[in-house]
């Protein structure tokens, strides 16, 4: 039987592939756990930061920061958080697809867009699409540090302060659970005011040295912490998406192997039957 050997080789190569995907799945699973822990670790800071910002909105600073003032939109900035590597299912593509839809709306309104790419995939994609990338950060690794992001974010914030761009958004994958990652686009600046908060009485902080300097610092850090959290969350998404993708790849490989094994066995059986009938036929002829 001619096909038997080829089928055997094919089974062998698929087995090797499934070994790789299996290994990647397990690596992703352990990395995911770490990434989730990291996500939990960053949460207190973000929460406290949000509290402080919430208080600030209650307070009545004599100095109104530019990050709190809305203005007419002519140009917007997008900070796009993606993964550095592929093989993680539709994670990045889903995000980009959602983003493209929003960008189309902007284009129809005649609003121009600047990009800030975090992660190789965003850089590659928006470079190819032909967007204007003003800053980037890649190779953040499994444990991203906030100092790797400071510069990248500052470029955007400076552009906002100077008036080059009028709104900043962030696009990232929100970690819902291991199976679900939700592509999310949020407005960063101007900081969207919380609607449910009513002003009870007039009070303000004491600012040291003065309100402008403190607010500049505080709001800058607030935005940075939001971006950092998005990056960490996207990291957890990446690992869990990879784990799921690799699991389904291993499953597919296994079912393919089963199928091929069946075909191989049939082919082998057919060859044996043929040989026997040939021998019997030969013996009868003699």
Partner 1 sequence: MAMTIHVDIVSAEGEIFTGMAEMVYAPAVMGEVGIAPRHTPLVTQLKPGEVRVETEGGKEMLHFYVSGGILEIQPHVVTVLADTAIRAADLDEAAAQEAKRRAEDAMANRTSEFEYAKAQAELVEAAAQLRAIERIRKGKRG
**Residues within the interface to partner 1 (CB under 8 A):** 38, 41-42, 44-45, 48-49, 51-52, 55-56, 59, 86, 116-117, 120-121, 123-125, 127-128, 132-138, 145-147, 150-152, 154-155, 158, 203-209, 213-214, 217-218, 221, 224-225, 228
Query: Shortest distance, CB of residue 152 to partner 1, whole angstroms?
Result: 4
Residue placing its CB nearer to partner 1 in the complex, 111 or 155: 155
Q: How far is CA 151 from CA 2, 25, 146, 227, in A?
A: 63, 34, 10, 12
Of 36, 21, 81, 93, give the one whose Cα is nearest residue 245.
21
Q: Name the DSSP letter for residue 66.
A: G
Long-range contacts of 133-141 (CB under 8 A, 24+ apart): 134/77, 134/159, 138/84, 139/84, 140/84, 140/231, 140/235
Query: Shortest distance, CB of residue 195 to partner 1, whole angstroms?
Result: 22
Query: Shortest distance, CB of residue 179 to partner 1, whole angstroms?
Result: 24
User: What's the distance, CA 90 to chain centroid?
Assistant: 10
User: What's the distance, CA 268 to chain centroid?
Assistant: 48
Query: Shortest distance, CB of residue 137 to partner 1, whole angstroms?
Result: 6
Residue placing its CB nearer to partner 1 in the complex, 4 or 134: 134
Residue placing its CB nearer to partner 1 in the complex, 116 or 170: 116
Query: Shortest distance, CB of residue 208 to partner 1, whole angstroms?
Result: 4
């Amino acid at each position: 039987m001619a096909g038997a050997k080829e089928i055997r080789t094919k089974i062998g190569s698929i087995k090797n592939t499934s070994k790789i995907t299996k290994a990647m799945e397990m690596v992703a699973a352990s990395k995911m756990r770490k990434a989730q822990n990291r996500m939990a670790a960053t949460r207190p800071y973000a929460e406290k930061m949000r509290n402080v910002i919430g208080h600030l909105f209650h307070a009545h600073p004599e100095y109104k920061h530019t990050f709190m003032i809305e203005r007419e939109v002519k140009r917007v900035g997008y900070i796009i958080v993606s993964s550095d590597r592929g093989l993680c299912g539709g994670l990045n593509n889903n995000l980009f697809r959602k983003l493209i839809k929003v960008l189309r709306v902007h284009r129809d309104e005649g609003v121009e867009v600047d990009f800030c790419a975090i992660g190789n995939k965003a850089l590659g994609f928006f470079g190819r699409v032909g967007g204007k990338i003003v800053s980037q950060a890649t190779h953040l690794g499994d444990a991203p540090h906030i100092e790797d992001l400071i510069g990248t974010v500052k470029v955007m914030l400076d552009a906002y302060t100077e008036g080059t761009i009028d709104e900043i958004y962030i696009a990232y994958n929100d970690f819902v659970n291991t199976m679900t990652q939700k592509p999310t686009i949020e407005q960063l600046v101007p900081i969207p005011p919380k609607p449910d908060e009513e002003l009870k009485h007039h009070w303000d902080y004491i600012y040291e040295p003065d309100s402008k300097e403190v607010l500049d610092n505080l709001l800058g850090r607030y935005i940075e912490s939001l971006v950092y959290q998005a990056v960490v969350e996207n990291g957890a998404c990446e690992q869990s998406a990879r784990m799921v993708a690799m699991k389904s790849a291993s499953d597919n490989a296994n079912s393919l192997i089963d199928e091929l094994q069946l075909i191989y066995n049939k082919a082998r059986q057919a060859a044996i039957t043929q040989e026997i009938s040939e021998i019997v036929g030969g013996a009868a002829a003699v």
